[in-house]
Amino acid sequence: MEGQNELDMMKTGRIIQSLSGFYDIQNESGQIERTRARGEFRKSKQKPLVGDFVDYESQNDEGLIWKIHPRHNALVRPPVANIDLAVIITAAKEPNFANNLLDRQLVALEAAQIVPLIYFTKTDLLTNDEYEDFKLIQQNYQNIGYEVILPAPHQQDVAFNQLKEQLQHKVAVFMGQTGAGKSTLLNHLSPELGLETGEVSKALSRGKHTTRKVKLIPVESALIGDTPGFSSYEVFDFSVDELDDYFPEFVAVRQNCQFRGCLHLNEPHCAVKSAVEIGTIVQSRYNNYKSFYDLIKSQKPKYKKQK
């Protein structure tokens, strides 16, 4: 009977916050309940993540998580699971646009099986000619298949509304280099979200022993990860043989390479290099592929252990 009572009390919900070993779960009726993870998770080296769907048992003071449902995807930093969208905040100016950094972020998201959305900020600082150049950049990434929002200099609200439309009913994380305007955009989405982000960032800067908190905050119909930053793209945690898997335009033509397992570097009759020559693959993307290839080859084995 005791086992039956436990089953009767079992609920399913999504973890929306983790803090000091506690997990706040939003159940199917919208209620939020505080839980801890059962000790068995530690023994099996499993750890619940914000964004996880879990089965849990309600108790008076705090419940217990019994089961973690299979994840669609997950990130290590920030530790969030089941992400529908990652918004890459990319400055057009101040700091100047760096296609290498953008491509690095895109590759990391492809590897994590997370859909990216590129959002350009500070377009109001561009000259007319510079803005036309960015329209070409936008088109290049859209041709690959990426969603790109490039605000017209005097129509920032139109682009912002496009972003809000893309966020509807999704779990999203935001990533971007320092100074790209991520905090400003988050503040614009939700004053509560911006405040929380600032508080966490300040707390983290005080030292490594500061309590880490990860939270999903509702913004209209979306849930947005409130995290101090996204750094999963700093190191590539896969082999060079996998790299071209994460360039969608390479995947589209590589079956036409003469050699199976072609690395698209020095091999003859390479369909990827041919596509670069005729302009159907952008030169900068190919240059960054070669740069990332060299980076992965030079990485020390210890990086492979950080998974």
- Give the three-state DSSP class for 121: strand
184 is in an annotated binding site: yes
- Residue 97 is classified by DSSP as P
178 is in an annotated binding site: yes
90 is in an annotated binding site: no
177 is in an annotated binding site: yes
Note the residue count of the chain: 307
227 is in an annotated binding site: no
197 is in an annotated binding site: no
Q: Is the separation of the CB atoms in 91 and 85 below 8 Å?
A: no
176 is in an annotated binding site: yes
275 is in an annotated binding site: no
Instruction: Count the neighbouring beta carbons within 10 Å of the beta carbon of residue 107.
Output: 20
74 is in an annotated binding site: no
122 is in an annotated binding site: yes
194 is in an annotated binding site: no
Ramachandran region, residue 256 (left: φ > 0; alpha: ψ -120 to 50; beta: rest): alpha
DSSP-assigned states of every residue in 271-300: HHHHHHHHTSS-HHHHHHHHHHHHHHHHS-
156 is in an annotated binding site: no
183 is in an annotated binding site: yes
CA-to-CA separations, 73 to 50, 94, 126, 168, 231, in angstroms, rounded: 12, 33, 37, 19, 16
Give the residue numbers of the binding site for GTP: 121-124, 176-184
Give the residue numbers of the binding site: 121-124, 176-184, 257, 262, 264, 270
Give the residue numbers of the binding site for Zn(2+): 257, 262, 264, 270
